[in-house]
């Protein structure tokens, strides 16, 4: 079992800054309409880090793009729900209004800085773009703000680095530049989509420390998308586990590690071997995530479950219910049978 601890040095959690309600996003494909995000709801408070975990294709990144209103169109479209940032529904804004929100009130850090950064522009110009748009600075004042943003993400000699191109920086430095762009206008929320994937372990640890420091300094709410439960243990206050476009379990990080209820959550945690373990074979979850254009009826996880699902059980779509204060989980019929104390919470009709 991984040792878990909430993010250290984070400022006191304050009011809710982001609330996602019943968010649903669909794509039109050659196989028909695919629902990539299916009725997702969660909230984020000031100074809090919410981890979003799940296998590739579970809907983590599409949820983030939906929040940012960056779902590729016309194939993709948000068909339902609300995304409230500081009380304002982003889905009700015009594209012009949304342009003023991105970067200034909510920002996104992508996992590959070489794709996020323009290779033919100096990094100073790329950081400056966001500041110029949202703060209206020009000339010397703009340059000073760019240098300040680079200094905040611990880039050495920022006065010289503003003239560098992305290929002249290491992977860790490029990721810091992306972070500088994200925090330049001091947003309320940052969505970090697997920002450490391309970094080695040493640089990864330094980058995570930097994020915690920036969170403490600015009171950021962070949505941290990752495959890595080690990062979840170090960074997050709460965790939402996604599967086939839906949240299957959500709780504080201690509860997720110590008392997970959904079989999928347990399998993900067990897939990380303890350092002291001498294993001939790593634990694995049999099967593959379902294709979103060919989801099984009812419970999407039923084909991979080790529980005693009958065809009738598998045809029932489980709902996300709060089994204990702050602990939400999809309870299938077989799992309810295993946890009698939760049976009164679920009605399958």
User: Cα dist. 282→135, 252, 265 in Å?
Assistant: 51, 26, 16
- Quickly state the pLDDT bin for 10 (edges 50, 70, 90): very low
Region of poorest pLDDT, from 11-25, 52-66, 218-232, 321-335: 11-25
pLDDT attached to residue 8: 41
- Is the predicted pLDDT of residue 17 greater than 80, yes or no? yes
User: Cα dist. 46→104, 185, 287 in Å?
Assistant: 16, 16, 38
- Quickly state the pLDDT bin for 128 (edges 50, 70, 90): very high
What tens digit of pLDDT does each residue of 295-349 get?
888 899 999 988 888 888 888 888 898 989 999 999 887 776 666 666 556 655 4
pLDDT attached to residue 339: 62
pLDDT attached to residue 11: 42
What tens digit of pLDDT does each residue of 83-124 get?
999 999 999 999 999 998 998 899 998 877 777 889 999 999
Beta strands in the chain (DSSP E): 16-29, 32-45, 49-53, 76-85, 88-89, 106-109, 189-193, 221-225, 238-243, 246-252, 320-324, 327-330
What tens digit of pLDDT does each residue of 259-289 get?
999 999 999 998 877 767 677 777 778 888 8
- Quickly state the pLDDT bin for 5 (edges 50, 70, 90): very low
Q: Which residues of 211-239 are buried (b: 16+ CB within 10 A; e: fewer)?
A: bbebbeebbbbbbbbbbbbebbbbbbbbb
- Is the predicted pLDDT of residue 12 greater than 50, yes or no? no
Domains and CATH numbers, the chain: 1-105+189-290 (3.40.50.300), 116-186 (no CATH)
pLDDT above 90 coverage of the chain, percent: 48
pTM above 0.85, yes or no: yes
pLDDT attached to residue 337: 61
Mean pLDDT for 199-205 is 77
Mean pLDDT for 148-159 is 88
């Amino acid at each position: 079992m991984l040792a878990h601890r909430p993010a250290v040095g984070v400022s006191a959690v304050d009011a809710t800054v982001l609330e996602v309600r019943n968010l649903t996003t669909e794509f039109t494909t050659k196989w028909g309409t695919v629902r990539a995000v299916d009725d997702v709801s969660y909230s984020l408070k000031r100074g809090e880090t919410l981890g979003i975990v799940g296998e590739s294709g579970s809907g983590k990144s599409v949820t983030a793009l939906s929040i940012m209103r960056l779902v590729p169109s016309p194939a993709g479209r948000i068909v339902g729900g609300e995304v409230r940032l500081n009380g304002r529904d982003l889905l009700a804004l015009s594209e012009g209004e949304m342009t003023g929100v991105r970067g200034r009130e909510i920002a996104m850090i992508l996992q590959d800085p070489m794709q996020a950064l323009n290779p033919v522009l100096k990094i100073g110009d790329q950081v400056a773009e966001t500041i110029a748009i949202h703060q209206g600075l020009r000339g010397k004042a703009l340059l000073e703000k760019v240098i300040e943003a680079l200094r905040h993400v611990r880039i050495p000699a920022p006065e010289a680095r503003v003239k560098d191109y992305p290929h002249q920086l290491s992977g860790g430095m490029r990721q810091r530049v992306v972070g500088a762009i994200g925090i330049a206008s001091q947003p309320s929320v940052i969505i970090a989509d697997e920002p450490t994937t391309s970094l080695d372990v040493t640089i990864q640890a330094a980058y995570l420390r930097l994020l915690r420091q920036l969170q403490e300094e600015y009171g950021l709410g962070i949505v941290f998308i990752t495959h890595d439960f080690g990062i979840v243990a170090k960074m997050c206050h709460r965790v939402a586990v996604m599967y086939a476009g839906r949240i299957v379990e959500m709780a504080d990080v201690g509860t997720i590690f110590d008392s997970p209820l959904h079989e999928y959550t347990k399998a993900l945690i067990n897939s990380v071997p303890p350092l002291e373990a001498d294993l001939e074979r790593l634990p694995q979850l049999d099967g593959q995530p379902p294709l979103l254009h060919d989801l099984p009826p009812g419970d999407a996880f039923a084909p991979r479950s080790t529980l005693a699902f009958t065809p009738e059980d598998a045809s029932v779509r489980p709902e996300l219910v709060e089994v204990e204060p702050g602990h939400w989980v999809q309870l299938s019929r077989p799992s309810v049978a295993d946890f009698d104390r939760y049976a009164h919470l679920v009605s399958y009709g």
